[in-house]
Amino acid sequence: MLNQNSRRDMIKKAAAMAFASTSLASLSTRVMAHEGTMDEKLKGQINHSVCAWCYNDIPLEELCKAANRIGLQSIDLLDPKDFATAKKYDLTCAMVASINKDWNIGRGWNREAHHDQLVTYYEHLIDETSKAGFTNLICFSGNREGLDDQAGIENCAKGLKRIMSYAEKKKVTIVMELLNSKVNHPDYQCDHTNWGVELCKAIGSERFKLLYDIYHMQIMEGDVIATIRKNHPYFAHYHTGGVPGRNEIDETQELYYPAIMKAIHETGFKGFVAQEFVPKRADKLASLKQGVEICDI
């Protein structure tokens, strides 16, 4: 029979072993998180992405590692040269970029004089997007510069129809972004949902849709949830952002994103929602994680 002192020593040893085991498990968990294991599982009702440009001061490799930890499935607005980096971390690019030194948000498809060059450029991007196994490629209307809205629709449709059969063949969707012309992109033509929807109807292809940017459309027209419910068949992708300021999507701004995400989910949407706010806080990745959690209904 053990005496009292021996029993006390055994209890102390058992406690020490249990503490060591717990500490080792905790250390292992922290190391795994640092190395890229997902922090916690997301609910799976929203497919999450993030726009790379909002984190330009963070190397893409580090952003991809953070995306893995947070539970993102995609990095938005990558150029073809960056596709391999995303794939290295098992990430897709839910919206491929198209801006370069010649083509930007203000210079797009609403001018017939641009069409020949844009057709060549977009056929190349369609090839790169398809080859990578991605499906969405962004495009822009361009600025009005005095062009009336009906003429803008007609010109965009005329040019975009030239690439639609090729996009259809390659299973790539061309997606025009809705942007505000009041704060960020003065004179941009595709600045209201109705204009974008009319363009979709004029093109008449399931491979042409809209990127509904919640931040931009809150500024231009508001009524976000009703607009999503009415027009969701024309939306291939969503972007977030806090209003006003385009910063964190938390309690500091006027939109309630859980309700917006619920409305998106209720439409049966199977695409991606990408965080596109510019973090104000020093820990930008913490802000990204918070934004994803807010949208993870």
Which residues are CB-contacts of 63 (< 8 A; sequence separation ≥ 6)? 50, 52, 55, 75
pLDDT computed for residue 222 by the predictor: 97
User: Is 221 exposed, middle or buried (CB count within 10 Å of its CB: 0-12, 13-18, 19+)?
Assistant: middle
| pLDDT, tens digit (0-9, with 9 covering 90-100), for 23-73 | 434 333 333 433 456 666 899 999 999 999 999 999 999 999 999 999 999
26 and 62 share one domain: no
pLDDT computed for residue 201 by the predictor: 98
16 and 127 share one domain: no
User: Cα angle vertex 118, ends 100, 60, to 5°?
Assistant: 30
User: Cα angle vertex 272, ends 157, 277, to 5°?
Assistant: 95
**How many domains does the chain fold into?**
2
45 and 29 share one domain: no
22 and 166 share one domain: no
The end-to-end CA distance of the chain, in Å, is 59
136 and 263 share one domain: yes
4 and 94 share one domain: no
9 and 95 share one domain: no
pLDDT mean for each 10 residues of the chain (297 residues): 48 46 38 51 95 97 98 98 98 97 95 98 98 98 98 98 98 98 98 98 98 98 98 98 97 97 98 98 98 98
Q: What range defines the domain where residue 9 resides?
A: 1-35
**0.75 exceeded by pTM:** yes
